[in-house]
């Protein structure tokens, strides 16, 4: 399954989680990486190149550290510029139909903080609902997000496990199951 990772990290050299995760998957034959902050330090996105890369993929991964319950700014700019009416959505916008959308995020907060009673008040998967809605509008199949909690203090062994899990996930040739967030589900 041809997989495109849209990688958005403004400080990737200092990254403790996302850089190693990317490293664990980027050499797979079926994986192509577009590092947005490396490609577009001036935020001037080549829309045609991005759309062509998306069209060539079967599975699209948005990988980023969560900043203020959302993505780093350049990924938002990418969404606004690239996912255009008549291409990504609207009666003639079918370019992304049937592709998988996998969101891969890390957060500084621990899983226990992403609960109703916890510091952040919402589960992380709930906060990612805009991506779920994006998948709905563009006809993509939303996959269970790949989440790393406690990113700043993660133990080496846990990071290695995440690397192994991420690589396995992106190696999966069969379609991944669609994910519908249930109220009763934990993170």
Q: What is the contact surface with ligand FMN in residues (CB under 6 A)?
A: 9, 15-18, 65-69, 106-109, 151-152
Q: How far apart are CA 141 and CA 85, in angstroms?
A: 19
Q: How far apart are CA 78 and CA 153, in angstroms?
A: 30
Closest CA to 60 of 104, 15, 90, 91: 104
CB of 124 closer than 8 Å to CB of 114: yes
In the complex, minimum distance from the CB of residue 130 to ligand FMN, in angstroms, rounded to a whole number? 14
> Which one, 106 or 132, has the nearer CB to ligand FMN?
106
Largest interatomic CA distance in the chain: 48
In the complex, minimum distance from the CB of residue 2 to ligand FMN, in angstroms, rounded to a whole number? 25
Kindly list the distances between the CA atom of residue 101 and the CA atoms of 54, 58, 104, in Å, as whole numbers in the listed order. 11, 9, 10
> Which one, 81 or 122, has the nearer CB to ligand FMN?
122
In the complex, minimum distance from the CB of residue 36 to ligand FMN, in angstroms, rounded to a whole number? 14
Q: For strand 59-65 and strand 31-35, is the pairing parallel, antiparallel, or unpaired?
A: unpaired
CB of 25 closer than 8 Å to CB of 172: no
In the complex, minimum distance from the CB of residue 57 to ligand FMN, in angstroms, rounded to a whole number? 23
> Which one, 58 or 79, has the nearer CB to ligand FMN?
79
> Which one, 66 or 83, has the nearer CB to ligand FMN?
66
- The kind and range of the H/E element at 139 are none
Closest CA to 115 of 70, 158, 149, 142: 149
In the complex, minimum distance from the CB of residue 114 to ligand FMN, in angstroms, rounded to a whole number? 8
> Which one, 4 or 124, has the nearer CB to ligand FMN?
124
In the complex, minimum distance from the CB of residue 88 to ligand FMN, in angstroms, rounded to a whole number? 26
> Which one, 19 or 94, has the nearer CB to ligand FMN?
19
């Amino acid at each position: 399954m041809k997989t495109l990772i849209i990688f958005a990290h403004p400080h990737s050299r200092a990254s403790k989680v996302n850089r190693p995760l990317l490293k664990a998957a980027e050499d797979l034959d079926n994986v192509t990486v577009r590092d947005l902050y490396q490609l577009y330090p001036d935020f001037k996105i080549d829309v045609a190149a991005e759309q062509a890369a998306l069209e060539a993929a079967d599975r699209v991964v948005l990988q980023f550290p969560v900043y203020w319950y959302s993505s780093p700014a350049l990924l938002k700019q990418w969404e606004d510029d690239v996912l255009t009416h008549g291409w990504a959505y609207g009666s003639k916008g079918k370019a992304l139909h049937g592709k998988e959308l996998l969101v891969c995020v890390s957060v500084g907060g621990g899983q226990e903080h992403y609960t109703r009673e916890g510091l952040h008040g919402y589960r992380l998967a709930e906060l990612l609902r805009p991506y779920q809605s994006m998948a709905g509008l563009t006809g993509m199949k939303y996959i269970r997000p790949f989440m790393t909690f406690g990113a700043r203090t993660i133990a080496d062994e846990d990071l290695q496990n995440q690397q192994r899990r991420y690589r396995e996930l992106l190696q999966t040739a069969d379609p991944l199951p669609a994910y519908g967030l249930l109220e009763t589900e934990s993170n």
